[in-house]
Amino acid sequence: MAQTKFDKQVEETAESLMFGIGRMLASRDLDGVKRTDATFWRPDTRVLPKVEGRVPRRSYKPGWRRIAARLSWLGAATEGAYLIGRHPDTTVYKAQGLWENWEATLAVLETGGIGTASALAVGGQAYGLLTRERRELMREWGVPLHQALLQGAGVECGDEVDVADCDVIEWHGGGPEIWVSR
């Protein structure tokens, strides 16, 4: 028995849905195009050759971060849809209760905010320790290379110059560095 047009459309829709779910769970770009060399555990180091156009920021992240964000949003949307669909009156009543008792809601959010700030502080310290080698390499190799290229191009660093005469103004930790071509 031959497939009808409707059967083919159903089959194509089911296939694209399964591919989409597979890409989401594999933490790949949902359109199926691989743009960077990021893996599940490691962020990217470069954009792949033959990639044209703008590369979205999410393509640079490691896969575990993409899947964590996707599953968090999916879980929140599913829970919200379940609560509204299954118990709409109770959901509205609870939301109104949170809105009317905003002091208690803020007290809970403050406690959660303290926990979030603590987690961010610990995460920032861990990130600082894990990326220290990369920063040292930049200080050792990247900055001298940058300065050598600027000198080769005839650009010099001026301490006290008029900002209107400057080619580039860069902000660093202590303040601006002004580069003037002479």
- What percent of the chain has a predicted confidence (pLDDT) above 70? 83
Confidence label for 162 from pLDDT (cuts 50, 70 and 90) = very low
- Convert the pLDDT of each residue in 11-29 to its tens digit: 999 998 888 888 888 878 8
Q: Is the pLDDT of residue 164 over 80?
A: no
- Tell me if 39 sits within 8 A of 63, measured CB to CB: yes
pTM score of the predicted model: 0.46
Query: How far is residue 159's CA from residue 153's CA, in Å, rounded to a whole number?
Result: 19
8 Å CB contact between 180 and 158: yes
* CB-based contact 39:9 (threshold 8 Å): no
Parse the chain into domains and list their residue ranges.
Answer: 8-44+55-96, 101-152
Mean pLDDT of all residues in 36-49: 84
More confident residue, 152 or 180: 152
